Amino acid sequence: MKIMVIAAHPNLNESRANQAFVKKAAAHTGVDVRDLYQAYPDWQIDAAQEQRLLLEYDRVVFQFPFYWYSCPPLLKKWFDDVLTYGWAFGPGGDHLKGKEFIVATTTGGSENGYRSGGYNGFTISELIRPIQNTIVRCNGTFLPIFVTYNANEAPNDELHQEAKRYAAYIQQPSMVLSAH
């Protein structure tokens, strides 16, 4: 299985967690990592190139820090520019049919903060629904998300273990992930 990780962190070099995840994932055969902010520092996304890349992979992982209850703005722009009518959805928009997608995100908050009645009022799964619905609308298969809580406070050895768990997770067969 060919996997493309689209890392969308505005300051990847300053993020201990996301940087650890990218390095661990990239060390595996069949996993390619793209740093979206490095690829498009001018925010001029080459939609045709991104669409060609999407066709080359069986699974796409959107890796990003979770803040303001969404993804970073360049990833949102990527969705808008790349997942277009007639290509990703609508008449003739079946290019992503059956392709697998995973959201992998890090939060600065605790898991308890992301629950009904918690500090953030909702679970991560509930807050990710707009991205999930986008993928489903584009005929993709949305697989269960990967979340690392307290990423800002985690000691380096804990982040190392999370990075190993992340790299293993994104390579699991979809049947295994769907059973979670």
Contacting residues for 162 by C-beta, under 8 A, at least 6 apart: 17, 20, 21, 148, 151, 154
In whole angstroms, give the CA distance from residue 17 to residue 12.
Answer: 9
Confidence at residue 167, expressed as pLDDT on a 0 to 100 scale: 96
Which residue has tokens 């406070």?
A: 153
Q: Containing H/E element for 141?
A: strand 141-142
Model pLDDT for residues 24-40, shown as the tens digit of each residue: 999 999 999 999 999 99
Specify the pLDDT at position 180: 63
Tell me how many domains the chain contains: 1
CATH of the domain at 72: 3.40.50.360
Confidence at 118, pLDDT banded by 50, 70, 90: confident
How many helices (H) and strands (E) would you count in the chain?
8, 6
The model's pTM: 0.95
Q: Give the residue-averaged pLDDT of 51-58.
A: 97
Q: Which domain holds residue 149?
A: 3-178
